[in-house]
Amino acid sequence: MSINGIMSSALSALLTNSQALRTVSNNVANINTPGYARRTVSLEASVVGGQLQGVDIASIQRVVDRFYDSEVLSATAGSSQYDVESTFFDQVNGFLGQPGDGTSLSSQLDSVFSALGSASLSPSSNVSRQGVLNAFRNLASSISSLSSQIGQLQTQADRQISASVGTINGLIQQIYQLNQKIQTAQAGGDTATGLLDSRDRAVQSLSQYIGVRTSEQPNGQLVVMTNDGINLVGDTYGTLSYAGGSTNGTYGEITVQDTSPDGAPIGTSQALDPHLDSGSLKGLIDMRDNQLGQLGRELGQFAQQTALAFNRAANAGSAYPPPTSLSGRDTGLVGTDALNFTGKTTVAITDSAGNLVSRIDVDFDAGTLSVDGGAAVSFAGTVGDFVDALNTALGANGSASFTDGKLSLSANGTNGIVVQDDATTPSARGGYGFSQFFGLNDIFQAQAPSILSTGLSAADDSGLAAGGEIDLVLKGPDGEIAKQGSVSITAGMTVGDVVSALNTAMNGAASFTLNSDGSLSMTPAGSYSDYQLNVTKDTTERGTTGMSFSVLFGLGTTQASAQAASFSLTSAMAGSPQNLPFAQSQIDATTAAGDSVVTSGDARGLLALQDVTNTRVSFSAAGGFPAQTGTLNDYISGFYQDVATRTQAAQTNQTTQSDRLTEAQSRQAQTSGVNLDEELSNMMMYQQAYNAGARMLSTVQQLYDTLLQLPI
């Protein structure tokens, strides 16, 4: 080998080992840098014209294992999803309280029955009455507060979804831009560019929000998509959109729009929600729409049955002395609606001591009423006609009015008013007695009516003004929309016409049935059995009642939750312990003016309220609960158990996914991470090779010096 060849080899050794040392030093410097993948140097002999010319670097490669990288992405998404759900359930349990701690719903319900038991020892005592009223108020407040807190958590989740969409769009564009730079770098021969680490970190950050999978392309670009194949980053990129907030209690979809490099949309957007299988975004949507939504509906069912049970007992009772007026709830009925009551009831006027002044006996089957045992007088078959007849019958003793769906009965002067159903053939509309249907002596009220058996028939006028609109969405548990429909109200539509229009709008995806009691049932098609109906818009109104069609019939998931919203005592009861119906009127065929109708110390009404604790009621399917029969205590115990089960499931999944992530990261680090001992060994090896090259170069210099000193 010539001296020049030796020098060339020595120089190549210096340059190559210097670059190798630089690679090792970068590895050591980034030993604690998250997402950094160590680089390895591959050496090869340098050959020029068939002759060895020293050493060269064949390539510098990032050490990665695509299987472990994929596992880390998957585990990150799973861990993030259940971190979100576990955090939300911690908040739920925080304000829910534990059974028996005095603040829970079960404790508040027990306090009501305890207060009623104490009051039964002295039903005339103002202290006893106030104690019962306080217990009722505390129960109502707890239900309303819990409903509000669940709603606030749903709003919180929705706001986080909106914020996440913005972050996700930023990460997608970052990955897309890094793809372009990496493609350029690798085309120039830089196969280990640091941009690869930046891109991997961005993809892992994205996996915290959305479960993704990746595919590396020959040109260095990385294709990123959801686990079921929706494109997020490739030759184009996805842009997410979400309006945020709810419409009539229903949340919209997140959409993804394929976007060209110049920012122009390509094709039509599609819903992203059904394509999310993990990540914090999936956890937030699941909490907002499913977990919290189901808990809200379960609570709503408890509130509804609580109101029905206590109001039923209250409307069969009377305060002592009887109140001077009874003001009912908004029934959603209009004066022209068919009365549709059966059976018999009595409206009585008493003096302040509870003695009968006058009585009006109503026979709904015969369509007649009589005053103080006099001749029966017929009345027409509408609500308005009946109220007019009743007002006439009350004469100078009182009045009856029906305005904006509310029935009001009043006695003149200091007299009181009592309503009592016939013991043999009690009155009923939609399965509820006269007083309870109109809510004349209710204890509890809420944002939505607890009585959904309207008593309306298919032939009845809908009472809805033309131009109103009902928009419906049948939505699946993963956010997928099976069917959207809309009903426009036209003049003269009957209730049956509206129900038919609902069926037409949903085109078989769901069917609506008007039951004999005037309630409305919705049944999803078999393939949509776990889907929920949402009413996203309802501008209808029955007359001047202010009540829409969907509110009247409890249509949609929002109305199911609204049973617990603003749950409170009625205005007649709030702050008026004397109005508690602890007594019961005693009116029969022989009762005449001057006879005692309601007496002081009578506790039969109180005992009826107390007996609610043992009353088995029929609960409709709600949230995660099937239809069932049991006591209020049974149901609320099941509610707490359901929360505990959901919490435990979220925590178990969180632990499992967290452990999986830790293991995946550990294995990834073993493959891609920097091993200090290994790098120090490489450093010594390259340093020694560098020193050897330097010594060779020194030897070449000595040879040249010797040659120059030779005589010519």
In the DSSP assignment, the letter for residue 273 is G
Q: Residue 578 has what pLDDT?
A: 94
Q: How confident is the model at residue 107 (pLDDT cuts 50, 70, 90)?
A: very high
pLDDT tens for each residue of 112-127: 999 999 999 999 899 9
pLDDT tens for each residue of 483-537: 999 999 999 999 999 999 999 999 999 999 999 999 999 999 999 999 999 999 9
Which amino acid, residue 95?
F
In the DSSP assignment, the letter for residue 611 is G
Q: Residue 571 has what pLDDT?
A: 95
The DSSP result for 312-323, as a single string, is HHHHT-B-SSPP
Q: What's the average model confidence in pLDDT over 412-427?
A: 97
Handedness of CA 282, 284, 289, 292 (dihedral sign): positive
Q: Taking the model in full, what pTM does it have?
A: 0.90
The yes-or-no verdict on residue 708 having pLDDT over 90 is no
The yes-or-no verdict on residue 601 having pLDDT over 70 is yes
How long is the chain? 712
Which amino acid, residue 204?
Q
Whole-number Å distance between alpha carbons of 80 and 71: 14
Please check whether residue 317 is in contact with residue 532, taking contact to mean a CB–CB distance below 8 angstroms. Answer: no
The yes-or-no verdict on residue 339 having pLDDT over 90 is yes
Q: Residue 707 has what pLDDT?
A: 75
Whole-number Å distance between alpha carbons of 566 and 666: 51
Whole-number Å distance between alpha carbons of 159 and 169: 16
Q: Residue 685 has what pLDDT?
A: 84
Whole-number Å distance between alpha carbons of 416 and 323: 5
Q: Residue 673 has what pLDDT?
A: 77
Q: Residue 712 has what pLDDT?
A: 65
The yes-or-no verdict on residue 456 having pLDDT over 60 is yes
- Which 3-state string (H, E, C) describes 647-687? HHHHHHHHHHHHHHHHHHHHHHHHHHCCCHHHHHHHHHHHH
| Cβ-based neighbours of 698, under 8 Å, separated by 6 or more | none
Q: Residue 507 has what pLDDT?
A: 95
pLDDT tens for each residue of 346-395: 999 999 999 999 999 999 999 999 999 999 999 999 999 999 999 999 99
Q: Give the C-alpha distances (Å, rounded to integers) separating 348 from 13, 433, 586.
A: 114, 16, 11
The yes-or-no verdict on residue 1 having pLDDT over 60 is no
The yes-or-no verdict on residue 224 having pLDDT over 70 is yes
Q: How confident is the model at residue 310 (pLDDT cuts 50, 70, 90)?
A: very high
Whole-number Å distance between alpha carbons of 449 and 333: 12
The verdict on whether omega for the bond into residue 321 sits within 30 degrees of 0, i.e. cis, is yes
When the pLDDT of each residue in the chain is averaged and rounded to a whole number, the result is 92
The yes-or-no verdict on residue 68 having pLDDT over 90 is no
Q: What's the average model confidence in pLDDT over 455-461?
A: 96
Q: Tokens at residue 670, please?
A: 């073993």
The yes-or-no verdict on residue 59 having pLDDT over 80 is no
Q: How confident is the model at residue 694 (pLDDT cuts 50, 70, 90)?
A: confident
CA-closest candidate to residue 695, choices 5, 7, 3: 7
Domain segments of the chain as ranges: 3-63+673-709, 152-272, 469-553
pLDDT tens for each residue of 420-454: 999 999 999 999 999 999 999 999 999 999 999 99
Q: What's the average model confidence in pLDDT over 588-593?
A: 94
Please check whether residue 622 is in contact with residue 558, taking contact to mean a CB–CB distance below 8 angstroms. Answer: no
Q: What's the average model confidence in pLDDT over 694-710?
A: 76
| Cβ-based neighbours of 614, under 8 Å, separated by 6 or more | 631
Please check whether residue 404 is in contact with residue 327, taking contact to mean a CB–CB distance below 8 angstroms. Answer: no
The yes-or-no verdict on residue 703 having pLDDT over 80 is no
Instruction: Tokens 């980034």: give the residue.
Output: 30
Whole-number Å distance between alpha carbons of 549 and 546: 10
Q: Residue 57 has what pLDDT?
A: 76
Cβ neighbours around 181 below 10 Å, total: 14
The backbone torsions φ and ψ at residue 102, rounded to the nearest 5 degrees and listed phi first, read 95, -15
- Which 3-state string (H, E, C) describes 259-283? ECCCCCEEEEEEECHHHCCCCHHHH
pLDDT tens for each residue of 564-585: 999 999 999 998 999 999 999 9
Please check whether residue 534 is in contact with residue 556, taking contact to mean a CB–CB distance below 8 angstroms. Answer: yes
Q: What's the average model confidence in pLDDT over 634-643?
A: 95
Whole-number Å distance between alpha carbons of 515 and 527: 24
The backbone torsions φ and ψ at residue 94, rounded to the nearest 5 degrees and listed phi first, read -65, -45
Whole-number Å distance between alpha carbons of 81 and 75: 10
Highest mean pLDDT among 13-22, 176-185, 699-708: 176-185
List of E strands, 28-85? 39-48, 51-62
Above pLDDT 90, what percent of the chain? 75
| Cβ-based neighbours of 7, under 8 Å, separated by 6 or more | 697, 700
pLDDT tens for each residue of 242-298: 999 988 888 999 999 999 999 999 999 999 999 999 999 999 999 999 999 999 999
Please check whether residue 514 is in contact with residue 529, taking contact to mean a CB–CB distance below 8 angstroms. Answer: no
